[in-house]
Amino acid sequence: MGQAFHNCSIKISDAWPGLEEMNIDYCHDLVELPAELCDLAHVKVLSITNCHKLSALPEEIGKLENLDVLRLRSCTDLIRLPVSIENLTKLCSLDMYNCFGIRKLPEDIGNMSGLRKINMGQCKGLKELPPSAWDLTEQLEEVICDEENKHLWESFLDTHKIKVAEEKTSLNWPKNPQL
């Protein structure tokens, strides 16, 4: 799958001009998401799950201005989210469950004015939130995190908005995870 993106002779946006949802699951050779995917102007849902070698998202991801849901479940080698993610003001749901390679969130994540739900369960590498996270106080409806990361949110979110993720020990993740 990873090579298919790079060996394509036509532009992805020309092949799928009206594409609204893209699901990429169990792509064992996908190391970096191609920047050309960010030209798909109508995409509302981008789900990349169980792509364990994925280590980078393109900085151009901020061009996906209609994106409602960004699911990055079990992308265990993903180490950061691009700075341009702050441009995704329509993004309602950010799911980073089991992305334990992520060490920090973008500094201006608070600019994501549409964000209502964030799932950062099993993101054990995340030890602090950027100061702009305080800007999400009023709009966030639900934060899913681990017991050891719960304190990151408790200082500025109502505790009824914070849910502790159950620890899963199985490596057989569901095909269509629900956020």
Residue 90 lies in a domain: yes
Residue 169 lies in a domain: no
Query: What does the buried/exposed string (b/e) look like for 61-97 if buried means 16 or more CB atoms within 10 Å of the residue's CB?
Result: bbbbeebbbbbbbbbbebebbbebbbbbeebbbbbbb
Encode pLDDT of 110-139 as tens digits: 999 999 999 999 998 999 999 999 999 999
CB-CB contact of 76 with 70 (8 Å): no
Residue 179 lies in a domain: no
- Domain count along the chain: 1
pLDDT at 50: 97
**Full-model pTM:** 0.87
Residue 32 lies in a domain: yes
Nearest to 66 by CA among 48, 96, 39: 39
Question: What six digits make up the tokens of 133?
Answer: 């996270």
pLDDT at 174 over 60: no
Residue 17 belongs to domain spanning: 2-164
pLDDT at 45 over 70: yes
CA distances from residue 156 to 126, 128, 151, 162, 166 in whole angstroms, order as listed: 17, 13, 10, 11, 23
Residue 128 lies in a domain: yes
Question: What six digits make up the tokens of 84?
Answer: 């341009």
Dump strand ranges (E) for the chain: 21-25, 45-49, 69-71, 93-95, 117-119, 142-145, 162-164
Please report, for the domain that includes residue 148, its CATH number.
3.80.10.10
Residue 156 lies in a domain: yes
Residue 173 lies in a domain: no
Residue 7 lies in a domain: yes
Tokens 């995409």 sit at which residue? Answer: 43
